[in-house]
Structure 1
Amino acid sequence: MNRTWEVVVVGGGLIGALVAFTLRRAGARVLVLDADRPGAAWRAAAGLLSPDGERLAGTPLQADALDGLRRWPALAADLERGSGASVHLRSGVRRLQRGGGAQVTPGEGTLHPPSVVRAARQGLEVVPARVYGLRPERGSVRVQADTGEWRAAQVVLAAGVWSAAFGVAVQPQQGQALLLRHAGPLEAVFGPSGRGFARYALSRPDGLYVGATARATWAADPDRQAARWLRGATQQLVPGAAQAPLAAHLVGLRPVTPDGLPRVGPHPALPGVTVAAGHGRHGALLAPVTAARVLSLVQAQVSS
C-alpha cells in the first residue's frame, strides 16, 4: 500500500478517469483512488456535448466548451482503441423553438459517461479508497485514506463536490434524471429555452435519458416531485415515451463554484496538489480540455 507513485489522482469519475488516462498515455505512473460515493455526478450525467444547448455562447466558458467539442472525436477514438469498447459518441442535437421548428449546431452531439469512465480506467490501477488527508512533505505528497496510505510526487484532486473537504470552493447542485426503457434512434433534443430547468432527452445504450432538475442540496436520494416533473418533460419532448417503464431514477451531485467556472490549477495551500474540480453541469463537455491542462501543469512541475 505504501508505494510511491508519480501521480495519484483522487477521484475516478469522468474528470479524474480522463485525467489519469491522459497522464498514463504521456508516460506517467498513475494511481487512481476512488471513493465511489452515492451521488457521484458522472453516474447521473447525460453526456451532452452541446455548447449552444447549454447556452454557453458569450460566457467565459464558451472557448473551452468549443475546444472540448473539437477534442472529443480524437479522444473517443483513443479510448475505444485502448479499451476495445464504444463510448457511444453520436452526433446530433436539436433545440426546439417556441412556436415550432428547431435549431441545430453542426458538430454537437452526445456520449455515454459510464462507458467513458470504464474505457478510461482500462489499464489503470484503481483502488477503492476515501481520502481524508493530503500532506505535502519534502517534495512529495502523503495521501492518507481509509484503506491505506500512499506517497506521490504529485496529486491531482478530482473528487467532484467532495473536493470541498480539501479547501476547494465547490458546493453541491443536485440533478435528477430518469432512465426509461424506451428504444429508438432519438438524437438529443432540448426543450424551448426559458426560465427554470433545461429539459432534454436523448437515447443512450442503457435507455432513454430525460433530465434534469437542479437543487442546492447534499441529498442523494430520488424524490417523487422530481419524478413528476421529469415525466412532464418526457411528455413534452418524447410523447411516445411518456408512460415508458422506469429503468432507473438517477441522482448526481454536480460540483459548482461561486462563479460557475471550474477550478483547474495548483492548489493555493497544498504544494504538489493540482485541482481539477467544479465543472458543474459541463463535465463531459469540458473534460478533454481539463485533462490536457492538467497534463501541462504536471509536466511543468516535473521540469521545474
Structure 2
Amino acid sequence: MIAVVGAGLIGSAVAWQLTQAGAEVLVLDAGRAGAAWKAGAGMLSPQGERLAGTPLEQDAQTSLSLWPEFAHRLSKGAGWTVPLTFGVEHLQPDRSVYVCPHEARTCPPLVVAAARTGLNLRCAEVQRLLPVRGGVRVCTSEGEFCADQVVLACGVWTRAFGVKVAAVRGQAVLLQTQPGAPARFAPPGGGHARYGLGRPDGLYIGATARATDSHRPSVRERGWLLGVASELFADQAWPQCWARDLVGLRPVNPFGPPLVAPHPTLPRVTVATGHGRHGALLAPLTARRVAELVL
C-alpha cells in the first residue's frame, strides 16, 4: 500500500495517477488553512509565467501537452466535466493583445474534487515517518500503520519531514461577474504578476507574493488586486460589493526547480513539492513522474 501525504492539487493528482495504475493508495490530509490549491488560479501558461529560457521551460511545455488527456480522464472518472479552456490573452505595454491559442486555464478546486473521486481519503495529520523492515511506519493523529511506500506531497508542510521548502504567500481575489470572461496576462507591476481569468466560480484576479507563513489576507494587497481587475477587465462588469479573498502558501524550493525525487534520508519515501506558482501547470507531469518512481 502507498500512503500519499497531502490531498491538494499535487497530492490528489499523484494519488489519482497511482490508483489508475492499479496501486492500493491511502491519502492522508490534515486540512490545514493556507493550502496553496485553495487559492490557485489555474493558469496553464508557460509564456505568461515567463518560463522561456528557465530550467522549467521544457517541463512546463511537456506538462501543458498532457493536460487535455489528464482533464478528459479526470472528467470521465468523476462523471462531470473538469474545465479546460484554451486561449490566453497577453496584453502588451502598448495595450495591444497577443493571443496564445495553445495555452489554457482550468479551476484548481474542481481539479482536486475530480481527482479525489473514489480515493481512500482520511483526515489525519502525519506526525512522523519511521523506516521499518520492508516499509515505512506512518504515525498520525489518528493512529499508526505501515505502508510499503510514502509520497510526501503536503506543500510547505513537507519541511516537517526534513525537506527544505519555503513558504511564499499568494493573495488573490475572486469577483462576481458574468460567465465567459477571458484569461489575460498583463506585464508585471509592483513586483507582482498581474493576471485574471474567468472560472466557474467567478473572475479570479492575481496575484501577490510575500515570503511569510501567514495566511491572513492583506487589505492593502486586496486594494492592489482590485486595481488590477479594473485595468485588465475594463470591459467586464461586476458588483464591487462582492469580492472574496483567496490566500495560499506556495511551497517553493529555494535552490531550484520543484522537488520530485526520493527523500534524501528516508528510504521508501518520495517527495513531490516545491512547485511554487506552477502547481496546476505541472500537475500531470508530476503525477506521471512520481508513478514512475514508486511503481
Structure-1-length-normalised TM-score: 0.94
Q: Given residue 136 of structure 1, which amino acid in structure 2 is its aligned partner?
A: P
- 3-state DSSP of counterpart to 1:199: strand
Q: CA RMSD, aligned part only?
A: 1.2
Name the CA distance, whole Å, in 2 between partners of 1:9 and 1:89: 26
TM-superposition CA deviations, 1:240-281 (whole Å, max 9, x none): 447533242100000001134100010010001000000000
Match of 1:284 among 266, 280, 283: 280
Within-5 A mapping of 1:1-304: 6-193=1-188, 196-239=191-234, 240-241=236-237, 244-299=240-295
Structure 1 residue 194: deviation in Å? 5.6
Name the CA distance, whole Å, in 2 between partners of 1:169 and 1:57: 26
Name the CA distance, whole Å, in 1 between partners of 2:250 and 2:53: 22
Name the CA distance, whole Å, in 2 between partners of 1:289 and 1:143: 27
CA contact (8 A) 1:264 1:276 kept: yes
Aligned-pair identity in percent equals 55
Name the CA distance, whole Å, in 1 between partners of 2:103 and 2:158: 30
CA contact (8 A) 2:29 2:123 kept: yes
Q: Given residue 102 of structure 1, which amino acid in structure 2 is its aligned partner?
A: V
CA contact (8 A) 1:207 1:247 kept: no
Name the CA distance, whole Å, in 2 between partners of 1:244 and 1:97: 27
Name the CA distance, whole Å, in 1 between partners of 2:10 and 2:52: 23
Name the CA distance, whole Å, in 2 between partners of 1:259 and 1:241: 42
Structure 1 residue 100: deviation in Å? 2.1
Structure-2-length-normalised TM-score: 0.97
Name the CA distance, whole Å, in 2 between partners of 1:78 and 1:170: 31
Name the CA distance, whole Å, in 1 between partners of 2:255 and 2:42: 23
- 3-state DSSP of counterpart to 2:187: coil
Name the CA distance, whole Å, in 1 between partners of 2:141 and 2:77: 31
Name the CA distance, whole Å, in 1 between partners of 2:132 and 2:109: 35
- Structure 2 alignment gaps of length 5 or more: none
Name the CA distance, whole Å, in 2 between partners of 1:217 and 1:48: 23
CA contact (8 A) 1:234 1:241 kept: no
Name the CA distance, whole Å, in 2 between partners of 1:246 and 1:30: 40
Q: Given residue 231 of structure 1, which amino acid in structure 2 is its aligned partner?
A: L
Structure 1 residue 102: deviation in Å? 1.5
Name the CA distance, whole Å, in 2 between partners of 1:212 and 1:194: 11
CA contact (8 A) 2:28 2:124 kept: yes
Structure 1 residue 186: deviation in Å? 1.5
Name the CA distance, whole Å, in 1 between partners of 2:92 and 2:84: 25
Which residue of structure 2 lines up, in the alignment, with residue 3 of structure 1?
Answer: none
Structure 1 residue 195: deviation in Å? 6.1
Count matched residues.
Answer: 294
Name the CA distance, whole Å, in 2 between partners of 1:229 and 1:248: 14
CA contact (8 A) 2:175 2:238 kept: no
TM-superposition CA deviations, 1:108-134 (whole Å, max 9, x none): 010010111110011111000111101
